[in-house]
């Protein structure tokens, strides 16, 4: 089974590839990854700040100053600051969240890592995580598996595994939903 993450495409892909090349050239990939993780954790996950940053009513100049100021206070790398400034000047701040996520995914992909998200109805202990990692590694041929787990009690039982654009849903919730649809004759 070939489960892999796709390379970034389109407008965001062009920004990501340009940023990756610049980071490689300046040897600051780890710093930009750290900056983006901080940006994602503290700012992009906050809807009010995210909305303020991408609001078209504040204008590009103010928007750029605001973003640069936030990044400078966070002691971000100059490449990160300049990149976000260019995004703002080009009117692409609305893409920032997507670019950050895709850039982090692309760095992982280029490092041979595979990002895997696992949802279960309860917290998985380390032995279960290890079993899942080994099975995914065996099925994908990837050695480095970056496993993120989420608890979703509505699943009732089983797991939902997401790798890139692929999803394996083996949850009781989905099985019950499919059974319900089959009984109604809607499948």
pLDDT in tens, 81-98: 999 999 988 989 889 989
Identify the band that residue 5 occupies on the pLDDT scale cut at 50, 70 and 90.
low
Chain CA centroid to CA 92, Å: 18
Please report which confidence band the pLDDT of residue 8 belongs to, taking 50, 70 and 90 as the band edges. confident
pLDDT of the residue at 154? 96
Return residue ranges of the chain for CATH 1.10.520: 10-108
Q: Give the residue among 67, 93, 83, 89 at the shortest CA–CA distance from 16.
A: 83
Give 42-80 pLDDT, tens digit per residue: 777 788 877 877 777 888 888 888 888 889 998 999 999
Residue 2 binned pLDDT confidence (cut-offs 50, 70, 90): low
User: How is residue 153 written in tokens?
Assistant: 């009690």
DSSP H or E run through 146: strand 144-151
Average confidence (pLDDT) over 155-183: 95
Q: For the domain 10-108, what is the CATH code?
A: 1.10.520
Q: What is the pLDDT of residue 167?
A: 96
Indicate whether 11 pLDDT > 60: yes
| pTM exceeds cut of 0.75 | no
Q: Are the beta carbons of 174 and 38 closer than 8 angstroms?
A: no
What's the mean per-residue pLDDT of the chain?
90
Stronger pLDDT, 121 or 39, i.e. the higher one: 121
């Amino acid at each position: 089974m070939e489960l892999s993450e796709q390379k970034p495409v389109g407008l965001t892909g062009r920004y990501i590839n340009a940023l990756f090349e610049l980071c490689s050239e300046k040897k600051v990939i780890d710093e930009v990854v750290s900056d983006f993780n901080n940006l994602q954790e503290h700012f992009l996950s906050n809807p009010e700040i995210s909305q303020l940053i991408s609001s078209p009513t504040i204008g590009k100049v103010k928007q750029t100053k605001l973003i640069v100021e936030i990044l400078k206070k966070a002691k971000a790398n100059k490449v990160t600051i300049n990149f976000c400034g260019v995004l703002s000047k080009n009117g692409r701040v609305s893409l920032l969240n997507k670019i950050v996520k895709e850039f982090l995914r692309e760095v992982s992909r280029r490092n041979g890592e595979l990002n895997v998200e696992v949802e279960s109805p309860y917290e998985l202990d380390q032995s279960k995580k290890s079993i899942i990692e080994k099975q995914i590694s065996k099925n994908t041929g990837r050695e480095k598996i970056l496993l993120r787990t989420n608890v979703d009690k509505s699943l009732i039982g089983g797991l939902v595994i997401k790798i890139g654009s692929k999803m394996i849903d083996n949850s009781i919730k989905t099985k019950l939903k499919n059974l319900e649809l089959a009984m109604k004759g809607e499948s």
